Structure 1
Amino acid sequence: MISINNLTYEIGARALYDEANWHIKPGEKTGLIGANGTGKTTLLKLIVGELMPTSGTISMAKGLKIGYLNQDLLSYHSEKNILQVSMEAFERQNELHDQIEALLKKLETDYSEDILHKLSDKQAEFEALDGYNIEYRAASILAGLGFDEMDQQRQLSEFSGGWRMRVMLARILLQAPDLLLLDEPTNHLDLPSIQWLESYLQAFEGAVIIVSHDRYFLDRVIEKTVESKRGKLNVYAGNYSFYLQEKAQREEIQNNQYKNQQAKIKQEEKLIERFRAKASKAKMVQSRIKALDRMDKVDAVDDYNPTVNFSFRFSKQSGRHVKTLTKISKSYPGVPILKNTEGLIEKGDKIALIGANGRGKSTLLRIIAGADTDFEGQAESGHNVTQTFFAQHQLEALHLENEILQELQAFAPKHTETELRTILGSFLFTGDDAFKKIKVLSGGEKSRVALAKALTADANFLLLDEPTNHLDIQSINILIQALKQYEGTFVVVSHDRYLLDNVANKIWYIENQQIKEYPGSYQEYEEWRIAKENKQTQKEESKEKKPKKEKKKTTSNHSDKKMDRERQSFSLNKDLERLDNEITLAKKELEDIEKELSNPAIYQEEDKLSEVNDRYTKKKSKLSSLQEQWEVIADKILELE
């Protein structure tokens, strides 16, 4: 579908890509990952032709339709309502609709055969393109992305940047392209919308390339990972979790090769030095020097997983009750948010505040922080509570003319320069990076500086509002390590499920304008929520199907049978997931054997060739068997549903 061959792209004297290669096949779902600054967004722009390579080629199938979601789409303006904006995806259908309306208008005065034939042809084409259902399709996708019926009639200009980006995503999805390029698609989505998008992309028949820092999202959608590193594109035949395992194995092999080669180089250098002054050994010395020069050097393994090697401290411990919320009510004109609700934050609580956008998460966080005082009720801080509040507007509060180190020194004067340099090193600012001015930093770098400031505050209570925005996966891992080490209390609002699952011991969510609490991890909460929703669905279905005079026993039997089906379906889905993993592994092993068979040298060794052929036959038979098992189980699941 797309072939990238020997791609080189230079920015000034720096080669962002250096003879990189990648072949994108139809239907592949790929995650494009790498540290900030390695060229992920640049590569997407090269694919769509917004940038031109310095050398090399990007060739693609004729007529290939590409949908590209990028942050530049935020500049799109329209006075149309968002349903109409999303329906702009159907260019030909909209064109036909206008032509049909014009022909119908003509028919009021002109009944000629020519007009009737044209109208008939246009209507036939419109129907063939499913034109009568485009509004329904657009409304369905907008609903999945969090827009209710009233929202869909509002003008695009009325929405904030994050919500406008969702409309752009809806328009791109409705185009049904052959290839979707999605640059940080979850940045502006809440958890329900992310989960909806996951399901949509899993069923999407075209190819997808996703740049994302949400590792749970990647794991659920992609089947291949491509890492942009040192100007090359390294392919891994699995999702993000597979990539981590495979990369660790590759790096272990590379590290061993590097150590062995370095030992050999040192040995050769000693030998050269020993005999350099002897005329009788001059030829041998020159030969060894040339051999060293010709040697293909193995690179040392980069440490892309820095650890947080400092401890957060605060001068005083808080009392047992950190924050007490009593009879809190809050509303905006025509929009009730909280109504007479209560909440208690205790010392040591690590609370994840979650839910759909518009439910009041950020409002509640501002009330807890004291940044919003326009509410009814009381929000009282406990004994010795000192807090710091991180939100995206903190990026604007950074002093642009300050160097990074100066910014932290002004904020945390009790810390020594060595301590602050250590903290900055943990947030990926090493060496002379500490002396960069704030004004030259990217959005992600500014976020890291603002987070470092928040975590160096002498505070025993942290409030974090979407701290992972603009951060890459590596930076999110650093934040997770920092929060795990933090001994105080915190509340975090985030849609990054990996972060929440690793740091939270309590879940808060807002339901019916009330603060609700689940006492456990995010994963436990999700399992509980799904079980609760399934139980509610069963209850509603049971009520719908239950005859008016049905006996209690019949309801019980019906419920038992439904529960039976649910259990069978759950078990079969687990088997299907296991088989998916086994099939992926078998395919990888088969590809490895095929690589062996593609080596001409193997055909000179009859015994070796026979053994490899035997392995290939067995592995192919196993793969076929696994695929048959998968089809049988998939059929059973469909029967149960």
Structure 2
Amino acid sequence: MAVPSQLVRDKFPNIDEEIFQYVEGVLTSTEDFETSEDVYEAIGGLLADAVGIEKDGEIRTLCEEVMRQLSAMNGSLEEHRILDAPVQLAEMAASMELEEQVVRSVWTRERDDVLKVDQRKLNKAEAKLKEKKEKRINTDKKDVQSPIILEMATASQVVSKKDRALDAKGTCNTKDIRIESFDVAYGDRVLIQNATISLAYGRRYALVGRNGLGKTTLLRMIAGRVLRVPSHISILYVEQEVTGDDTIALDSVLECDTVRASLIAQEKQIQARIAQGDTGGPDENLVEQLSNVYSELQAIEADKAPAKASVILSGLGFDPEMQRRPTREFSGGWRMRIALAHALFSQPDLLLLDEPTNMLDMKAIIWLENYLMGWASTLLVVSHDRHFLDIVPTDVLHLHSQDIDMYRGNYENFFQTRRERQKNQQREYEAQAQFRAHVQEFIDKFRYNAKRASLVQSKIKMLEKLPELKPIEKEIGVTLKFPEVEKLNSPILQLDEVSFYYTKGKTIFSGVDLSAAMDSRICIVGENGTGKTTLLKILLGELEPTNGQRVANRSLRIGYFTQHHVDQLDMRVCPVELLQSKFPGKPVEEYRRQLGAFGVSGDLALQQLASLSGGQKSRVAFALMCAANPNFFILDEPTNHLDIETIESLGEAISKFKGGIVLVSHDERLIRMVCTELWVCGGGQVKCMEGGFDEYRTLVEKEIQTTL
């Protein structure tokens, strides 16, 4: 008769040997099972994990066959005998020869060791199953990505009947915008509560505030007209890059003027109908229509549109050849520039810009500053470029503590005025608190004095009528902490007579001599496309020079930061889980400490990355980079999306860091804070500019004046 375990082997011949040995040990004891369900409970779950839960039906059928086999074996082994006399169990126990020295009862006798499950085999089998299960889960994760769960932003607003009536009639012609008593929330979190903003036509407003407070969300609420904006006011929000297709860049900009595009289409249609007319001459009605179209085209100065669009594209870095290229040939950064050109060309009544300088080089930033200075309609911009905010805005809207305060002037005026307001507010609060304490002392002293009862009552009423002043709410500062490093001997990182080209005959740069030490603070600037990123990749060792050589210290550990790395973070997990996946085996407290060093603490460390603001994601990327404990940093546009306070903290962290820094940035304030060497990419060369950033900015401004 076959052994029951052999049925398992026959059914699942590829089962792991450790698991089979365990099953075999379980099925050795035939008297433990009364039904097939007992067999399934003993080995069914183990087999399901080993061969897959989808085979549960086959496993149950197998357990029934095993039970029949066990029942047959039990029947053949049993001997039915009639006892001649009662059996004395105590005497049997006394006469038994057992290995154990003390046996309290025959009922406590254990099974033979042969019938026991080998614990070592069981542990081994369970470990094998766990490993297979993890592999299967990881495979499933690759096939089925976890969803990105984003909470929805919502807004509510109190709108008067008068405003609703005016909007419905279409009789309101003012282009000033006033959004009263509105709230904005993101999921369960209230971002703005009972705020009011007024935007006067022709003024330029900067919306500033810390990362994660809701600046971008507010722009989206206005752009989507979730918050009430008069229907006759046109709005354009530059956020998404242009979709790439076969439309050339210049035509893409021209097409965004829908009125002009519609009139030109009408002109072509009428011309075609006239060309198809009878020999008797064209229809007088068509001629009149064509004349009206020409008049309208002349009124909007349609003939000047191509030149205007070309000037805008040129200012944003597009040379004549690039303006004739299809939009699909441009990278994401250049498509964002085309989207910005759309906005500048179409001139809406309200233009909303979110971090417009992020994708621009210094030349394009200076051009954009000058262009926006002459902007005729209303502008609302979110930016963290301190110099840009000192040049462009006429007013500042400060988002803080779920409210929005308005200040006249640029960012520098806002900064000084706010500081004075805070000092005055704190002084008033302290003076009122002192006065309240003095009055309360009088009340407490004479509360039960009958002669002064009326005076006490008047003092109490006076306190109740006093306005309730609040102390200054200090915003929590973000302190960035780069790792401590040991000093390395020179040379640290060096390029000797380096040249590079992707296509022979088109050299990116040549003759580059660059040396970096542990105290280096090198800043690389230049127009987009001049080879800055290529130079960084050669410094990293990701690209081999065409000529020359790269020399690096064997103990050099480079931390590389770029906005590209931020975009590639797994948005489905939280920051703690991200660090766990990259650096496993550490306690959770260690990951939270690492994130806290970059201002990602509390609930932020447990939120899904997709729900964080751009600046918060950048800080997570910094924490991830520094977790590898680098002793040299290469930073490519690290200030993108960071708020002004965090940029200041980044500058301080760079200054305190004991290792070397190579920085690519167009943030003027950061460059002035940390840069000791300025290298300029351009004209196929990389040269050190002795005059520093002042000389470079003067040079760029002269180039812009020459091209205008």
The TM-score with structure 2 as length reference comes to 0.67
Q: Which residue of 2 aligns with 1:496?
A: 667
> Structure 1 residue 35 and structure 2 residue 210: aligned?
yes
Alpha-carbon spacing, 1:186–1:317, altered in 2? closer, same or farther (3 Å): same
> Structure 1 residue 140 and structure 2 residue 311: aligned?
yes
Task: Choose from 225, 233, 255 the match for 1:88.
Answer: 255
* Aligned-pair CA distance for 1:462: 1.0
CA–CA distance in structure 1, aligned partners of residues 515 and 478 of structure 2: 33
CA–CA distance in structure 1, aligned partners of residues 378 and 214 of structure 2: 21
* Aligned-pair CA distance for 1:349: 1.8
Corresponding letter in the other structure for 2:488? S
Task: Choose from 556, 579, 591 the match for 1:407.
Answer: 579
> Structure 1 residue 102 and structure 2 residue 269: aligned?
yes
Aligned to 1:63, what secondary structure does the other structure show? coil
Alpha-carbon spacing, 1:458–1:519, altered in 2? closer, same or farther (3 Å): farther
Q: Which residue of 1 aligns with 2:200?
A: 25
CA–CA distance in structure 2, aligned partners of residues 84 and 251 of structure 1: 51
> Structure 1 residue 8 and structure 2 residue 178: aligned?
no
CA–CA distance in structure 2, aligned partners of residues 22 and 366 of structure 1: 46
* Aligned-pair CA distance for 1:81: 1.8
> Structure 1 residue 338 and structure 2 residue 509: aligned?
yes
- Which consecutive unaligned segments of at least 5 residues does structure 2 have? 1-175
Residues 82-115 of structure 1: per-residue CA shift (max 9 Å, x gap):
2221111222222222222233333334332333
Q: Which residue of 2 aligns with 1:63?
A: 232
CA–CA distance in structure 1, aligned partners of residues 458 and 187 of structure 2: 38
Q: Which residue of 2 aligns with 1:581?
A: none
* Aligned-pair CA distance for 1:9: 3.2
Residues 246-285 of structure 1: per-residue CA shift (max 9 Å, x gap):
1111111122223333444555666677778999999988
Corresponding letter in the other structure for 1:67? L
Work out which of the two has the higher radius of gyration on C-alpha atoms and give 1 or 2: 2
* Aligned-pair CA distance for 1:362: 1.0
CA–CA distance in structure 1, aligned partners of residues 660 and 304 of structure 2: 51
Map residues 141-156 of structure 1 onto 2, 5 A cutoff: 141-156=312-327
Task: Choose from 283, 287, 295 the match for 1:124.
Answer: 295
Q: Which residue of 2 aligns with 1:565?
A: none
User: Is the Cα contact below 8 Å between 1:412 and 1:456 reproduced in 2?
Assistant: no
CA–CA distance in structure 2, aligned partners of residues 5 and 342 of structure 1: 59
> Structure 1 residue 304 and structure 2 residue 475: aligned?
yes
CA–CA distance in structure 2, aligned partners of residues 68 and 41 of structure 1: 11
User: Is the Cα contact below 8 Å between 2:570 and 2:578 reproduced in 1?
Assistant: no
Q: Which residue of 2 aligns with 1:595?
A: none
Task: Choose from 64, 74, 77 the match for 2:241.
Answer: 74
CA–CA distance in structure 2, aligned partners of residues 285 and 404 of structure 1: 58
Corresponding letter in the other structure for 1:365? L
Residues 601-639 of structure 1: per-residue CA shift (max 9 Å, x gap):
xxxxxxxxxxxxxxxxxxxxxxxxxxxxxxxxxxxxxxx
Corresponding letter in the other structure for 2:406? V
Alpha-carbon spacing, 1:187–1:149, altered in 2? closer, same or farther (3 Å): same
Aligned to 1:325, what secondary structure does the other structure show? strand
User: Is the Cα contact below 8 Å between 2:525 and 2:664 reproduced in 1?
Assistant: yes
Q: Percent identity?
A: 33
Deviates more, 1:112-121 or 1:133-142: 112-121
> Structure 1 residue 451 and structure 2 residue 622: aligned?
yes
CA–CA distance in structure 2, aligned partners of residues 399 and 179 of structure 1: 32
The CA RMSD measured in Å over matched residues stands at 3.6
CA–CA distance in structure 2, aligned partners of residues 327 and 10 of structure 1: 56
Aligned to 1:321, what secondary structure does the other structure show? coil
Corresponding letter in the other structure for 1:237? R
Map residues 243-282 of structure 1 onto 2, 5 A cutoff: 243-266=414-437
Map residues 309-458 of structure 1 onto 2, 5 A cutoff: 312-314=483-485, 316-333=486-503, 335-373=506-544, 375-382=546-553, 384-395=555-566, 396=568, 401=573, 403-404=575-576, 407=579, 421=593, 424-425=595-596, 427-431=598-602, 433-434=604-605, 436=607, 438=609, 441-455=612-626, 458=629
CA–CA distance in structure 2, aligned partners of residues 276 and 425 of structure 1: 51
Corresponding letter in the other structure for 1:108? A
User: Is the Cα contact below 8 Å between 1:451 and 1:467 reproduced in 2?
Assistant: no
Deviates more, 1:277-286 or 1:245-254: 277-286
> Structure 1 residue 44 and structure 2 residue 213: aligned?
no
The TM-score with structure 1 as length reference comes to 0.73
Aligned to 2:492, what secondary structure does the other structure show? strand
User: Is the Cα contact below 8 Å between 2:478 and 2:645 reproduced in 1?
Assistant: no
User: Is the Cα contact below 8 Å between 1:67 and 1:180 reproduced in 2?
Assistant: yes
CA–CA distance in structure 1, aligned partners of residues 539 and 426 of structure 2: 49
Residues 322-381 of structure 1: per-residue CA shift (max 9 Å, x gap):
222123222234753123433222342211111111111111111101122364431111
CA–CA distance in structure 2, aligned partners of residues 294 and 10 of structure 1: 33
Residues 68-91 of structure 1: per-residue CA shift (max 9 Å, x gap):
21x2x2374543222221111222
Map residues 158-307 of structure 1 onto 2, 5 A cutoff: 158-266=329-437, 295-304=466-475, 306=477
CA–CA distance in structure 2, aligned partners of residues 281 and 430 of structure 1: 55
Report the number of matched residues.
527
CA–CA distance in structure 1, aligned partners of residues 340 and 554 of structure 2: 47
- Which consecutive unaligned segments of at least 5 residues does structure 1 have? 53-57, 541-640
* Aligned-pair CA distance for 1:175: 1.0
* Aligned-pair CA distance for 1:160: 2.0
CA–CA distance in structure 1, aligned partners of residues 275 and 603 of structure 2: 77
CA–CA distance in structure 2, aligned partners of residues 246 and 233 of structure 1: 15
User: Is the Cα contact below 8 Å between 2:363 and 2:700 reproduced in 1?
Assistant: no
Residues 286-310 of structure 1: per-residue CA shift (max 9 Å, x gap):
8877766665332222333626386
User: Is the Cα contact below 8 Å between 2:184 and 2:218 reproduced in 1?
Assistant: no
User: Is the Cα contact below 8 Å between 2:248 and 2:323 reproduced in 1?
Assistant: yes
CA–CA distance in structure 2, aligned partners of residues 161 and 189 of structure 1: 12
Aligned to 2:272, what secondary structure does the other structure show? helix
Residues 140-187 of structure 1: per-residue CA shift (max 9 Å, x gap):
211111112222222222222221111111111111223221121112
User: Is the Cα contact below 8 Å between 2:478 and 2:646 reproduced in 1?
Assistant: no
* Aligned-pair CA distance for 1:117: 2.8
